[in-house]
């Protein structure tokens, strides 16, 4: 029971992510998600009672994946240079592999986070506090530039998500039709050099 259920939910969420990112919440429909997923509409309602519930779960799933990378790498017992190199590269890899997820989250927040506001304040806010503390410790050890730890996190997120959220602008300015692996490697090295500039 467990495995088929998990497979069904992942299939639905991946289809929903694509449909919501292309059409927004208002323009998307459960029927369109069902067609994209290749399953009956009733199957989606079995797991997600409304379109709003499905939309919120797609957004939460993206945030949980981001938090997973933070939990893996942003730990005070690790040297900042080692941890941030891996974190920046993994975050950029997510932006490259899942541009729809990143753009959908950006659109929701830019629109006022109507469907995500409670989650951001009650769940995400306490979840990021340990990462802020990690940055504070790294700053005390002189491994990263001095500054406000939360704003350091905001800058990391902004720089790594930019390549998904603003990809048409990035490709236009680079004179390319799409970004290649080398572009993400160049982005990673640039970001890493900036966040470690006053450290080791």
The residue-averaged pLDDT of 114-135 equals: 93
Q: Looking at the structure, do residues 94 and 184 belong to the same domain, yes or no?
A: yes
Q: Are 73 and 84 in contact (CB under 8 A)?
A: yes
Does residue 54 sit within a domain? no
pLDDT at position 198: 53
Stated pTM of the model: 0.84
Q: Nearest to residue 87, comparing CAs of 100, 104, 71, 102? A: 71
Q: Looking at the structure, do residues 125 and 190 belong to the same domain, yes or no?
A: yes
Q: Where are the alpha helices (DSSP H) in the chain?
A: 2-27, 30-37, 41-47, 51-73, 80-97, 99-110, 117-119, 125-140, 149-165, 167-174, 181-195
Does residue 176 sit within a domain? yes
Does residue 97 sit within a domain? yes
Does residue 105 sit within a domain? yes
pLDDT at position 3: 59
- What is the domain extent for residue 42? 1-49
Cα distance between residue 87 and residue 72, in whole Å: 8
Domain count within the chain: 2
pLDDT at position 200: 47
């Amino acid at each position: 029971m467990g495995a088929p259920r998990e497979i069904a939910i992942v299939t639905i969420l991946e289809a929903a992510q694509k449909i919501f990112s292309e059409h927004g919440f208002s323009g998307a429909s459960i029927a369109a998600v069902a067609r994209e997923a290749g399953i009956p509409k009733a199957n989606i309602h079995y797991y997600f009672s409304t379109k709003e519930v499905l939309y919120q779960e797609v957004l939460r799933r993206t945030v949980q994946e981001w938090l997973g990378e933070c939990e893996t790498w942003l730990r005070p017992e690790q040297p900042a240079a080692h941890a941030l190199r891996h974190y920046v590269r993994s975050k950029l890899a997510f932006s490259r592999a899942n541009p729809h997820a990143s753009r959908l989250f950006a659109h929701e927040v830019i629109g006022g986070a109507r469907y995500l506001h409670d989650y951001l304040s009650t769940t995400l806010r306490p979840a990021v506090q340990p990462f802020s503390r990690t940055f504070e410790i790294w700053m005390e050890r002189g491994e990263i530039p001095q500054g406000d730890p939360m704003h350091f996190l905001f800058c990391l997120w902004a720089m790594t998500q930019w390549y998904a959220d603003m990809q048409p602008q990035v490709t236009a300015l680079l004179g390319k039709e799409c970004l290649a692996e080398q572009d993400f490697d160049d982005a990673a090295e640039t970001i890493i050099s900036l966040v470690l500039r006053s450290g080791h």
